[in-house]
Chain A
Amino acid sequence: MIVVVDYGMGNVGSILNMIRKTGGSAIISGNLKDVEMAEKLVLPGVGAFDNGVKNLQDIGLWDILNHKVCKNKTPILGICLGMQLFTDGSEEGNLAGFGWVKAKTIRFRFKEDARQIKIPHMGWNQVFLKKSSPIFQEMHKEPRFYFVHSYHLICEEEQDVVSVTRYGHEFVSAIQKENIYATQFHPEKSHKYGLQLIRNFVEVC
Chain B
Amino acid sequence: MLATRVIPCLLLKNGGLVKTVRFRNPTYIGDPINAVKIFNDKEVDELMILDIIATRQGKGPDFDLLSRIGREAFMPMGYGGGIRTLEEAKRILSLNFEKIIINAQALENLGFVHQLAKVCGSQSVVVAIDVKKDSLGRPRVYGHTDGQTRKIELTTYAIQVANNGAGEILLNSVDRDGTFNGYDLNLIRMVSQVVNIPVVALGGAGQLKDFAQAVQSGASAVAAGSFFVFHGKHRAVLITYPQKDELGQVLRVYEGLNQ
Contacts and interface: CB of A to CB of B under 8 A. Distances in A.
Contacts of A144: 3
Contact of A146 (B4, B75, B122, B258): B75
Contacts of B70: 13-14
Interface in A173-200: 186, 188-192, 194-195
Contacts of B40: 191
Nearest to A193: B43
Contacts of B196: 118
B241 to A, nearest CB: 12
A18 B2 contact: no
Given A14-B74, A114-B259, A123-B3, 11 more contacts: A13-B94, A17-B74, A46-B121, A117-B258, A118-B197, A123-B2, A124-B5, A146-B76, A148-B123, A186-B76, A188-B74
Given A46-B121, A123-B221, A166-B1, A195 B74 contact: yes
A167 interface: yes
B75 A191 contact: yes
Contacts of A125: 1-3
Interface string B111-123: 0000000000111
B74 A18 contact: yes
At the interface, is chain A mostly helix, strand, loop or mixed? mixed
A168 interface: yes
Interface residues of B, number: 32
B220 interface: yes
B121 to A, nearest CB: 6
A167 B98 contact: no
Contacts of B220: 118
A189 B45 contact: no
A157 to B, nearest CB: 27
Contacts of B94: 11, 13
B74 A194 contact: yes
A90 to B, nearest CB: 15
Interface of A: 10-11, 13-14, 17-18, 21, 46-47, 114, 116-118, 120-126, 144, 146, 148, 166-168, 186, 188-192, 194-195
Given A118-B258, A146-B76, A124 B96 contact: no
B93 interface: yes
Contacts of B98: 11, 148, 189
B143 to A, nearest CB: 28
Contacts of B60: none
Contacts of A18: 74
A126 B198 contact: no
Interface string B162-198: 0000010000000000000000000000000000111
A146 B76 CA distance: 8
A13 B71 CA distance: 9
B95 interface: yes
A124 B121 contact: no
Nearest to A198: B74
Contacts of B198: 118, 122
Contacts of A10: 93
26 contacts: A11-B94, A11-B96, A13-B70, A14-B70, A14-B74, A46-B121, A46-B124, A47-B121, A116-B257, A117-B258, A118-B197, A118-B258, A120-B123, A121-B2, A122-B123, A122-B198, A123-B3, A124-B5, A124-B45, A125-B1, A144-B3, A146-B76, A188-B74, A189-B75, A190-B75, A194-B74
A195 B94 CA distance: 20
Given A46-B121, A117-B258, A17 B1 contact: no
Given A118-B196, A192-B43, A124 B2 contact: yes
Contacts of A148: 76, 98, 123
